[in-house]
Amino acid sequence: MANRGFDIRKLTGFSSIAMACFFMLYMPIILLVVYSFNAGTSIAIWEGFSWRWYVSAWDNEMVQEATVRSLIIAVSAAAISTSVAVLAALGTTRTGKFRGQTTVFALIHQPLMVPEIVTAVALLIFFASIKVVTGYTGLMYLIIAHSAFCIPFAYLPIRARLQGMDLTLEQAGADLYGTPVQVFRHVTLPQLWPGILAGAMLAFVISLDDVVITEFVKSAGQDTLPTYMLGQLRRVVTPEINAISTVLLMISVTMVIAYTLLSKVKK
């Protein structure tokens, strides 16, 4: 008799448990999206379909300013963290084993292992001392903080891409007297770009959605879209928050889908 192996889907109750998990996970999100189209002011009582709150959010100057600020920070953080991640990935995959390699990996992955609140408090103390000395309170602190936090998120897909690449072409380029820069530009980079784009998009989404680090590091008048929403929730909750959340959700879902597709590009 052939051994069919273990299949978790055949366990008693698996389908019911899976459906219950999906229901609890996605039903709140579905309700959030549905009530973003509510004509009334309630987030719990349906009063008819309307685009009212999307128009209200679009015309809200504070939302506009927070959105522009969020995009500036997210794009800058994604660019910086991805650039650093590429160098880190090359340094940990295109070299042999070296002393302290485990420490290097731990340092790169530190933001993933340490609770975000701890990182936020540390950045608050660090940047507060710099603000006292320099008097500068601009967006650069948020950009640097987000960049540092996003590095491991960009690093993981880039390193995975490098590890899966065939070294034959790079070795051939070196044998043809190509300098390391030339080999990287003409051989490695064309094969690596899906991983770079995937890492950049993942870093962008992480930065765009971040609340904890932003809340601790930002100065007065530097609300991003998530921190603006948090502030509004403390005052009054209207479907406008649902509308903004739905737009953020659509952006995040689109980026994650694109990330998944790029990660599957043949090497």
* Tens digit of each residue's pLDDT (9 = 90 or more) over 233-259: 777 777 888 888 898 888 888 887 887
pLDDT value of residue 5 = 66
CA distance 249 to 261: 18
Angstrom distances, CA of residue 177 to CA of 92, 162, 181, 182, 208: 23, 22, 11, 9, 43
Give the tokens for residue 57.
């959010």
Give the tokens for residue 118.
């701890």
CA distance 127 to 115: 19
Q: What is the mean pLDDT of residues 156-175?
A: 83
Indicate if the pLDDT at residue 110 is higher than 60.
yes
The CATH architecture assigned to 60-263 reads Orthogonal Bundle (1.10)
CA distance 47 to 53: 13
Alpha-helical segments (H) within 36-179: 52-59, 61-93, 101-108, 110-113, 116-134, 140-164, 168-175
The rounded mean pLDDT for the chain is 85
pLDDT in tens, 29-63: 898 889 889 888 887 788 888 898 899 888 888 88
pLDDT in tens, 211-223: 999 999 998 888 9
User: How far does CA 106 lie from the centroid of its chain?
Assistant: 20
Indicate if the pLDDT at residue 146 is higher than 50.
yes
pLDDT category of residue 145 using cuts at 50, 70 and 90: very high
Give the tokens for residue 262.
């790029």
Half-sphere exposure of 233 (CA within 13 A, CB side): 11
Domain ranges of the chain: 60-263
pLDDT value of residue 1 = 46
CB of 161 within 8 A of CB of 192? yes
pLDDT category of residue 265 using cuts at 50, 70 and 90: low
pLDDT value of residue 266 = 56
Supply the DSSP symbol for 186: I
Alpha-helical segments (H) within 135-178: 140-164, 168-175
User: How far does CA 114 lie from the centroid of its chain?
Assistant: 17
CA distance 87 to 159: 10
CA distance 176 to 170: 10
CB of 184 within 8 A of CB of 31? no
Q: What is the mean pLDDT of residues 174-201?
A: 84
CB of 60 within 8 A of CB of 130? no
CA distance 47 to 35: 9
pLDDT in tens, 64-80: 899 999 999 999 999 99
* Three-class SS state of 27: helix
Of 253, 154, 130, whose CA–CA distance to 207 is shortest?
154
Indicate if the pLDDT at residue 3 is higher than 60.
no
- Percent of the chain residues past pLDDT 70, beyond the cut: 96
Of 14 and 118, the structure prediction assigns the larger pLDDT to: 118
Indicate if the pLDDT at residue 159 is higher than 50.
yes
Indicate if the pLDDT at residue 101 is higher than 80.
no
- Percent of the chain residues past pLDDT 90, beyond the cut: 26
Indicate if the pLDDT at residue 232 is higher than 90.
no
